[in-house]
């Protein structure tokens, strides 16, 4: 097991892709497309993007202190905002439904 977020996220993306390709091979009736595989891999890669450094300590100690308790969001909520920002700021050609799926 790796405790480095980057390695963890790359690993989750890889395993998500393997799982999707295996499902596609074993059950063609599912109609899994290359785009479906890409979206599941992107979701795996970005699943922890909302975590700050030092993860839960950052979420439970740092954020409340620097925002004077005004921001009460989970890392999942931060992830949603970050994915939306990354897509918009970089002009990524992806539909709103696909963004919601990844989030």
pLDDT more than 90, % of the chain: 45
What pLDDT is stored for residue 45 in this prediction? 93
Q: Where are the domains of the chain?
A: 5-102
User: Shortest CA distance to 8 belongs to which of 36, 39, 37, 49?
Assistant: 49
More confident residue, 84 or 71: 84
Residues with catalytic function = 75
What pLDDT is stored for residue 49 in this prediction? 82
DSSP strands (E only) in 1-103: none
As separate numbers, helices (DSSP H) first and strands (DSSP E) second, the chain gives 6, 0
What pLDDT is stored for residue 76 in this prediction? 73
For the entire predicted model, the pTM comes to 0.76
pLDDT in tens, 13-47: 999 999 999 999 999 999 999 999 999 999 999 88
3-state secondary structure 77-101: HHHHHHHHHHHHHCCCCCCHHHHHH
pLDDT in tens, 78-94: 788 888 888 999 999 99
Using alpha carbons only, how large is the chain's radius of gyration in Å? 16
């Amino acid at each position: 097991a790796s405790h480095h977020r980057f390695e963890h996220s790359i690993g989750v993306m890889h395993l998500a892709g393997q799982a999707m390709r295996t499902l596609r091979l074993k059950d063609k009736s599912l109609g899994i497309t290359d785009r479906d595989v890409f979206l599941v891999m992107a979701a795996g890669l970005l699943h922890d993007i909302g975590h700050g450094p030092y993860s839960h300590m950052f979420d439970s100690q740092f954020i409340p202190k620097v925002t004077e308790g005004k921001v009460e969001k989970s890392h999942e909520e931060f992830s949603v905002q970050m994915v939306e920002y990354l897509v918009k700021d970089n002009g990524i050609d992806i539909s709103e439904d696909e963004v919601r799926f990844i989030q």
